[in-house]
Amino acid sequence: MSGISKTTEGLTVHAPTTHPASAGTPTVLQTADFLGGHRVSVLIPCLNEQENLKHVLPLIPAWVHEVVLIDDHCTDDTAGEALRIMPSIRVVENHRRGGKGNALRTGSEAATGDILVQVDADGSEDPAEIHSFVAALLTGADYAKGSRFVQGGGTSDMPPLRKWGNWALVGVVRTLWRGTQFTDLCYGYNAYWKRVAPLLLDAEGFDIETVMNLRAVRAGLKIAEVPSFEAERIHGEGKLLTFPDGWKVLKAIVRERRAGRTLTAPAGAEVRA
């Protein structure tokens, strides 16, 4: 059993779920039955990830409605490789300036599902965990954010400096937004209802996850932290730059705090009491 930690300001509730990969026979979470008619779109932003796709795409659950790969100005054959591995995949080009945030925004606009799950293309995130994120939304959350630092989560890809930086930034957010209980701030495995995507996806680069978290707080959305394990990138060099990107994240936190005003949640989003 794995736990979903539902986090709102001042409240944490643990709801157990069954991991579909842990059973030898199909379970309800391995089929579309548990979706109740909802459709899941998986968004995979890519910048030259041709070599890694074979480790990601075949593991996407069969009940996923569609996989949307966003070509973020790739110079290799990422798109062609994706189509060879998964002929049904939808490949869209990011015509905005390059950056993970812009790529996710492009993918969310192209997606036809009402549930969006973003997964990194480098093989560090296990597609089998998609069910946990979807389950969190189906049980009441508006936004499900992955955490490597709650029970059931973990990482083998964070050196001590980056761990310290993450905890420092989490501490800043907890201080500026009293009552928030985030344990992870800069992790890319997240899910949300498409209706809230325009509210959340408003940053260009690697600061996108931080902005998403803070926008969800400012809008009073119901937030769930979902345990997730981050492995090492399989091929290639990571695009994250510790100090420059950490500085961008800190500036994003300050910018969101200075904005001050409470955001209006989209119609249909469940606002925290």
- Using one digit for the tens of pLDDT, what is the confidence trace for 143-192? 999 999 999 999 998 888 888 888 999 999 999 998 888 999 989 999 99
Q: Is the pLDDT of residue 6 over 80?
A: no
Q: What is the pLDDT of residue 57?
A: 98
- Using one digit for the tens of pLDDT, what is the confidence trace for 226-246? 999 999 999 976 555 566 777
pLDDT category of residue 269 using cuts at 50, 70 and 90: low
Helix, strand, coil share (%) of the chain residues, nearest 5:
35, 20, 45
Q: What is the pLDDT of residue 243?
A: 61
Q: What is the pLDDT of residue 236?
A: 75
- Using one digit for the tens of pLDDT, what is the confidence trace for 88-115? 999 999 999 999 999 999 999 999 999 9
What is the model's pTM?
0.84
* The residue type at 266: P
DSSP state string for 106-146: HHHHH--SSEEEE--SSS-B-GGGHHHHHHHHHTT-SEEEE
Report the alpha-carbon distance of residue 177 to residue 181 in Å, rounded: 9
> Are 217 and 9 a contacting pair, CB within 8 Å?
yes
- Using one digit for the tens of pLDDT, what is the confidence trace for 38-59? 999 999 999 999 999 999 999 9
Q: Where are the domains of the chain?
A: 2-259
Q: What is the pLDDT of residue 5?
A: 46
The highest-level CATH class for domain 2-259 is alpha beta
Which residues, listed in sequence order, are joined to residue 240 by a DSSP beta bridge? Answer: none
- Using one digit for the tens of pLDDT, what is the confidence trace for 8-36? 333 323 333 333 333 333 444 456 689 99
Mean pLDDT to the nearest integer, 183-210: 94
> Are 48 and 81 a contacting pair, CB within 8 Å?
no
Q: What is the pLDDT of residue 10?
A: 32
Q: What is the pLDDT of residue 25?
A: 34
pLDDT category of residue 213 using cuts at 50, 70 and 90: very high
230: three-class secondary structure by DSSP: strand
Q: What is the pLDDT of residue 165?
A: 87
